[in-house]
Structure 1
Amino acid sequence: MYCLQWLIPVLLIPKPVNPAFFYNHAMFIILYLISFFIQQKPCAICSIIFIVALFVMCYSNIDGCVVWPCGESTM
């Protein structure tokens, strides 16, 4: 479970207040995750736990999703 040490904080990074930075924030998170999975090669259990947590977080509140560049103020 060592690999979750670097994945869980990604879910806790708040989205920026300024809507102009939503896209930049989402791209940063996506590129960080891609590079992490390529470099660290986390175990399957950690990957599944992270993907399920990300899915649950994005499914319950689309505005709170860290990989989706939208927010309440853009609508």
Structure 2
Amino acid sequence: MSGLYEKAEFALRAKDSTAFWAALAGVDAQRTAPLLAKLLLEDWHEEHEDIVFELGLIGENCATPAIAQAAQKNFE
């Protein structure tokens, strides 16, 4: 399972959202929250609402600051 997590991290650094979501599909949801929170604040994609939804389903407290920051950010 950790191999998929590393693939998700690599995809995030490569700004490849398709590969990111594919890698996350096999990772435990609780482990994905920090990566999703990081991706949420990036402006190179258009999946912010989807990420907030996923973070809400996961319910991990570590995502709260990122969600609050994203709510104030102007994504273009």
TM-score by length of 1: 0.42
* Bigger Rg, which one: 1
Question: Taking CA–CA contacts closer than 8 Å with sequence separation of 6 or more, which of the two structures ends up with the larger relative contact order?
Answer: 1
